[in-house]
Structure 1
Amino acid sequence: MVQQGWVVSQVNQGFPALNTMFPGGTDMTVLNELPSWDWSSLFRPHVWGYLLFGLNVGMAWHWWVPAFVLVSSCYLLAVTLLPRRPVTAALISIALFFTPFLQWWYGPSTLFSVAWPLLAMAAVVWVLVDTRRWVRIVWSVATGYFAVTLAMGLYVPYIIPGLLVFLTFSVGFLFRVRPWAVGGARAAWGRLTPLIASGLAAIVITAVWALTRIATFDAIQSTVYPGQRLAATGGVLVGDPYLAGIGGAPWNQALKAIPGGSLLGLNSSESSSVILLSLFVLPGLIWFAVRSFGSKHRVDWLLVSAVLLFALIAAYLLVPGWDAVAHVLQLDRVPAERFRVVFVVLLPLFAILVVDHVDRAETKRAWIVGLCCSVFAAVIIFALWSRIRSLNPEILGLAPTWKIIAVLLVLMTLLLFIKRGVVAAAAMLLVASVLMGWGVNPIYQGVFDLSKTDTGEAILKADKAETGVWIGIGSYETMAILVESGVSSLSGVQNYPTEQMWDEIDPTSKYENEWNRLGQVQWSLGTGALKIANPQANLIAVTVDPCSSFAQDEVSYILADSPVSAELDCVLEKSTIQQGQVEMRIYEIVPAGRG
């Protein structure tokens, strides 16, 4: 809702780089993935629809382009490593899209944080294996381009886990194919040159973008909330001591019905997780990796690197006491609950690694390993079910298909290790994923533009007659209508505080700790001195006297969804608009004695 409000505001203001709704303006090229006529939009393909086709088509474009990139990237990686299994690749890719974590946190920054490492890993394979220069260049350019897209999304807690997977995979695959064995180190560097050059170009472009917006970044970094937060190692056990949240994907269907917090998490989004396929098949990958050391072939360093990566992730989530090392690795910039995104990236990767090994294995006994892994998966699911049943049994009743999902996951784990069962395993993964993620985001057509409502048109009419600054009091809807109408307003969700606006509201900076944060600016009327408080970390509640010098000088209009108290002076009702079941009122701030 926050992002859509800013999008409509951008449409109504003509897609400026600096949106002037808040006094002083807000940079639209940083945070929230918003459309603007700025050069940085060249690297945001998901906003092109707004700029080229308008609001309604633009919203659909914004929704589906990241999804297309995600599914395509997953398919490309899968079909690159499993060229004879296009159906399996397609099923896994679609299953990834329906992962509950992605559905509940759906947005460009989330989807690109998963799509890019998958695309980049596929690129590593092609640049190291394919001898055609143009192929290596195409893959490198695509990877570099979307690296900029990912970086401009700016959500570091999602970027770092995917980057970690990519780097680990790259090292493992490099040692698996050993390109220096044929042609020496020079030949190996020659193959990697296009990808390295593309990466450096992406870094330069991102640096230019950031440096030309350094004031905005300084404002964001200096906020009290969210500010710069570092997480401690072993943090998952603090917020999720029973691991029901991180492992609760089979019961994520309940998140659509749970009104608040539960054993799974604080709310539906925070509770969403991912099928822990990487954990289910981990014993099998460990077995394959260990056996490769004693085989007549070379050690499979790709499997070894994957196992070591999982060990590092598990250590960060579960083992406290090594914060200094985690800081060097930048892991502490990712809160434990956000680190779940790494398991989304690992889901297709570990499935692919298992199938790749099974397809290349000379023995037909991999099913024994698969059986052990399926028993391991069953034990994990049973342990989680036992905890949920004893501590929060309501969840079980709100997830009616969890038993079906559990059976599918156990069978899927077994069939992944059987050559003829791989397609069936991928199909089961898809069915389980759809059962968990379907309906989280209902399909709808078009955008409900609040500026086109009767209230929105009344606001624009009043502002056109005499331009002024607005505040909204009452429900969230008053703020949303003002934001989408594009008028100058002190109500809305600020990404960071604009200096001009808060110099006007709080010239002595008495309440700087309260307003220097990302949050919703919510107004109410009262008497006496202006007051600012934080009922919650991301809410800035301002109480103002309409007769105060600030209101008289800086505020022109009030939009309210209920009558203003008759005891308050300096407020004059201009119009009443029937908006559905609610009467919206527009008031004008006037000198004392006229209200």
Structure 2
Amino acid sequence: MAVITADGQAMSAGPSDARSRLARFGWTFARGIWFFPALLAVLLTLLTVLQISGSSMGVYQSMLYGSQPDANLLLNEPQLIRSDEWIVNTQLTIAQDAAGYPRINPNIGQGADVSVVVDVPYKEWSTAFKPHNLAFLVLPLDYAFALKWWLIALLLILSGYCFVLVLTPGQYWLAAGLSLTLFFSPFVQWWYQYNTLAPLYYALFIATVFVLLLRSKRLLTTIAWAVLLAYLLTCFALILYPPFQIPCALALAIFCVGHLVERYGAPRTARLRQLVFAAASLVVAGILIGLFVATRLDVINTVLQTAYPGQRLTRSGGFDLAHLFSGHTSLGLESSSSAAKYSLPEKGLTNQSENSNFLLMLPYLIAPSLYLLYQTHRTRRIVDWPLLLVNLAFLGALAWLFVPHLSAFGRLLFLDRVPHTRLLIGIGLLNFIGLVLFVRRLHDQRSALPGRTAIIGYTLALLLVQTLLSLHVVRTFPGYLHLGGFVLSLVPVPLVAYLALRRRFAWATSVLLAVSVAMTAFIHPLYRGTTTLTQTPLSRSIRAMTAEDPDAVWAAEVGIIQNFAYMNGAPSLSGVYAYPQSQLWRTADEQGQQDFVYNRYAHVWFTFDRNPAVMSTTTFTLTGADHFRVNTEPCGPFLRQHRVKYLVTGTEINESCLKLRDTIRYPEATFLIYEFW
């Protein structure tokens, strides 16, 4: 092949020219908008193919096998404290796979609607608005499980990436860095599950699409953004975890109002058309949400009327001020022994997840933000409404946390439905949005800040504040922060603030990201597959007996195996009940005297009476806000009435109605399966 040079002579295009073009394309792609998403997609694909997740299901290895090495554990250690993941969502997901992904799983008690409260895959139209679960309907379990685990991470990172780019176009590496700092926030990692990450990423995607909708000029483009906005709004609503949704929705609303006011100067006709389409998106989303609620209204009403979580209300004030601003000390949470020293039960701070926080920068940028706002208004006669309103919203959140007697304020904004420790997710979202808006304003107003001397003085003041906060943590929780952690805790906020104020955004983001990774890198294990649960001897034994009699009901006496029966496709009375099945338990409590005990989201297992000489009545024991135990006779009427055929226990039962069917021995535990004669 020949090419024509500038002087009209022909010359051949050899391999070196092809390599040169390929290199130019690679360099252009690496500097473009799609490089970071493509890199994330490659990582997602690789981890899915290798069936690697961050699940802590490996806790069963130590429970059952002691110190024997776990071949599926690739890195770090499972987290016992993350039981909502390894004993609830993970095992319910496996149970759905065993049952064929029904919306109403018949194996959980008298049948449980899994489309509310818990996050598991099921076959129904509403799954289209839970895209992270769609893979289960087409892929084998282990691949789909790994894909879901990392897909919610990818969506959170991409939402932050898109949000930054829509406000600061062309800043690809800044967008990548800031979105990664959000993902590696201690709060996000300790609470890592769909119900936590989804409110964040749907809020950021909605904000991004709303901005693009208001900027659109062509009709077809406006329609496309409106359709996407309706879809995202529906996805956000169907998360169905108000304690996290409400704070994120408020943060989203504040930003959208600010941006709408900022766009007030746009041409009236275009602005009106965009608002009409935005309103249409809300209407369409409202119809879809209403259809979802109407088709499971009885279940939703049951959840609302439970003793736990029920309609719990929170009063304003009383939160721990030092804790809110001590996110820079989160390094100590990675060690379980150190984390055990950090506890304030009266404030709701009881474990690593509840104690986790965001590394907050917005409080320390409020003063510079107000200065920027003043300078912008003084020199250009404009107001940065998004930045102003986000800062005011942050101060409003602080008022709710620390100022008592704001009940009217709380009822108006539904904050009284949000426990204080859950409100931190909204504060974290405001922190991210505010940081992006601050960077945008600094880009637009390059000469607004004072000189280096003033910035250094402000940085030293921040260093003093951080030192006092860290000293308070050391004094209040001895043993939580060691010397290295204490020194490291002093660095990030002052250094990031200094670099940001000097407009060294790449360096500021790098420091923020490095510290965030250091505080969270050892939280999750890298774990391969689900065979620890699905191929363990107890699971194989349950499946074999269920194949003989698929309708036989099981009941387990040992808490850690409460879900094993329905996880392996067998009907079970023990297990996690996402909402109460009061009709089931009232058959043993005819007078309803213990309704308060079983009227809740609960982990349920049994205690079987060992005294053949005494026939005890069935009773219920509340062992925790979300745990209750059923005390009953193994040969009594309650189990017979509900067609229970198999009992799983940890110790022997000598009853004439039972015969020992199987004994499963592990190095650290033994399980006995009894069958009714």
TM over 0.5: yes
1:553 aligns with 2:641: yes
Q: Among residues 474, 478, 490, which one is paired with 1:393 in the alignment?
A: 478
1:50-61 pair list within 5 angstroms:
50-61=136-147
1:530 aligns with 2:618: yes
| Aligned equivalents of 1:103, 1:362: Cα separation in 2 | 35
Residue 596 of structure 2 aligns with which residue? Answer: 513
Q: Among residues 480, 495, 499, which one is paired with 2:563 in the alignment?
A: 480
| Aligned equivalents of 1:118, 1:248: Cα separation in 2 | 25
1:221-236 pair list within 5 angstroms:
221-236=304-319
SS, match of residue 153 in structure 2: helix
The letter for the 1-side match of 2:193 is: G
| Aligned equivalents of 1:362, 1:460: Cα separation in 2 | 68
| Aligned equivalents of 1:444, 1:463: Cα separation in 2 | 29
Q: Among residues 109, 113, 130, which one is paired with 2:199 in the alignment?
A: 113
Q: Is the 8 A contact 1:95 1:433 kept in 2?
A: yes
Residue 324 of structure 1 aligns with which residue? Answer: 408
Pairwise CA distance, 1:366: 4.6
Q: Among residues 485, 506, 531, which one is paired with 1:423 in the alignment?
A: 506
SS, match of residue 401 in structure 2: helix
1:543-582 pair list within 5 angstroms:
543-566=631-654, 568-582=655-669
Pairwise CA distance, 1:401: 4.0
Deviations 1:421-452, CA, capped at 9 Å, x for gaps: 11100111110110111121122221136343
1:119-518 pair list within 5 angstroms:
119-180=205-266, 182=267, 184=268, 186-236=269-319, 240=320, 242-244=321-323, 246-259=324-337, 260=340, 262-263=342-343, 265-363=349-447, 365-366=449-450, 370-371=455-456, 374-397=459-482, 400-419=484-503, 421-448=504-531, 450-466=533-549, 467-476=551-560, 478-518=561-601
SS, match of residue 623 in structure 2: coil
Deviations 1:251-307, CA, capped at 9 Å, x for gaps: 222223235462472001001000111112111112222333433332222222122
SS, match of residue 153 in structure 1: coil
Structure 2 unaligned residues grouped into runs of 5+: 1-85, 610-614
| Aligned equivalents of 2:305, 2:434: Cα separation in 1 | 40
Pairwise CA distance, 1:4: 0.9
Deviations 1:509-529, CA, capped at 9 Å, x for gaps: 232111011110121112511
Deviations 1:138-163, CA, capped at 9 Å, x for gaps: 33333322222221111111111111
Q: Is the 8 A contact 2:662 2:672 kept in 1?
A: yes
| Aligned equivalents of 1:402, 1:454: Cα separation in 2 | 46
| Aligned equivalents of 2:405, 2:593: Cα separation in 1 | 39
The letter for the 2-side match of 1:348 is: F
SS, match of residue 629 in structure 2: strand
| Aligned equivalents of 1:433, 1:523: Cα separation in 2 | 43
Residue 540 of structure 1 aligns with which residue? Answer: 628
How high is the sequence identity, in percent, across the aligned residues? 26
Distance 1:283 1:148, change over 3 A: same
1:21-36 pair list within 5 angstroms:
21-36=107-122
1:83 aligns with 2:169: yes
Distance 1:430 1:211, change over 3 A: same
Q: Is the 8 A contact 1:409 1:432 kept in 2?
A: no
The letter for the 2-side match of 1:301 is: W
Distance 1:529 1:472, change over 3 A: same
Deviations 1:309-353, CA, capped at 9 Å, x for gaps: 122111111111120222012111111111100122123212212
Q: Is the 8 A contact 1:358 1:418 kept in 2?
A: no
- Of the structure 1 ranges 144-153 and 27-36, higher mean CA displacement relative to structure 2 is found in 144-153
Distance 1:579 1:280, change over 3 A: same
| Aligned equivalents of 1:87, 1:273: Cα separation in 2 | 25
Distance 1:373 1:120, change over 3 A: farther
Pairwise CA distance, 1:364: 6.1
TM-score for both structures, normalised by structure 2: 0.81
Q: Is the 8 A contact 1:8 1:449 kept in 2?
A: no
Pairwise CA distance, 1:27: 0.2
Distance 1:102 1:10, change over 3 A: same
Residue 76 of structure 2 aligns with which residue? Answer: none
The letter for the 2-side match of 1:256 is: E
Residue 593 of structure 1 aligns with which residue? Answer: none
Report the aligned-residue RMSD.
2.1
| Aligned equivalents of 2:457, 2:237: Cα separation in 1 | 40
Distance 1:352 1:21, change over 3 A: same
Deviations 1:56-108, CA, capped at 9 Å, x for gaps: 11111211222111111111111111113211111001111110100011111
Moved over 6 A (4+): none
Q: Is the 8 A contact 2:343 2:351 kept in 1?
A: no
Pairwise CA distance, 1:544: 0.6
| Aligned equivalents of 2:352, 2:288: Cα separation in 1 | 36
Q: Is the 8 A contact 1:577 1:585 kept in 2?
A: yes
Q: Is the 8 A contact 1:451 1:481 kept in 2?
A: no
Distance 1:124 1:391, change over 3 A: same
Deviations 1:131-183, CA, capped at 9 Å, x for gaps: 23344333333332222222111111111111111211122122223245x3x
The letter for the 1-side match of 2:116 is: V
Deviations 1:367-420, CA, capped at 9 Å, x for gaps: 5565465345323322221211212121112x844523531321111111222x
- Pick the structure with greater CA Rg: 2
Pairwise CA distance, 1:504: 3.3
| Aligned equivalents of 2:449, 2:361: Cα separation in 1 | 21
Structure 1 unaligned residues grouped into runs of 5+: 591-595
| Aligned equivalents of 1:367, 1:584: Cα separation in 2 | 71
